[in-house]
Structures are given as structure tokens and as C-alpha cells.
Amino acid sequence: MELLSRSEEQVMAALWACEGPATRREIAAKLPPACRWADTTLLNFLLRLEKKSFVRAEKQGNKNVYRPLVRRLTYCGAVSQAHLQTLYGGDLRAMVCALADTDRLSYAQIERLLRWLGEYQAANPEYDYE
């Protein structure tokens, strides 16, 4: 899967937040304050995303409505895996250590992660845990 630029990711996050097909205005309303671009800039990002097959534009009356073609979970998983490989050689422990050692992962977050991992393992006993 092709990785997106930071700005394209912001547009996709806004579209996913709309929970279905959305107009340019609806997407713009979901963008963070730092990404309040001119209408033409947002339209250019949407056109790029359409060319990359991340969104599909459909005419609805006199407006375009944009539909995500890639699920958030699918994209996030692919990006996370790519960064894990590139930055940490696939070593998840090294990534978690980097987050914890630079105070980007709190002790409370580590505790929640440990609880979740235990619950996940209990719910998926057939999974191959090497």
C-alpha cells in the first residue's frame, strides 16, 4: 500500500471522521485547526487521493461527495508495519522502548497495553505466539 504524505493523511483522517461519504465542506470541518487550507488546496489533496485510489468522488446534485475506498484500520496497519520495519527492523519491543524511554508512553499507557495484550491473548488462544 502506498504511504501518504502527512497532509494527505490529515485529509483521510477527516474523511474517516465523517463516517461515510462527505462533501468538501464536511471534510474541511473535521480537519484540525492547523490544516485549515483554502478550498482549492483541499480539493487538490482530494484529487491526489482519488488518483491514488484512496477516495472516490461521486456527483450528488451539483456537489462532489467523497467516499473513502481504504479503511482507516487497513491504512494504519500498513503504515505502522512499514514504520516498524524501516525504523526498528521489525522489532516491536525496540519501538515500545523508544516510546517509553523518551516519555512518549506513560506508565499508565504501558499498564493499559499489558492488560489489553493479556485480554487479546486470552480471546485468541489459537494464535501462534512465538
Q: What is the pLDDT along the chain (130 residues), one digit of tens a residue?
A: 889 999 999 999 999 999 889 999 999 999 999 998 999 999 999 999 999 999 999 999 999 999 999 999 999 999 999 999 999 999 999 999 999 999 999 999 999 999 999 999 899 888 666 6
Q: Coil, strand or helix: which one is 12?
A: helix
b (16+ CB within 10 A) / e for 29-63: ebbeeebebeeeebeebbebbeeeebbebeeeeee
Whether the model clears a pTM of 0.85, i.e. scores above it, the answer is no
* The three three-digit cell numbers of residue 6, written as one number: 502527512
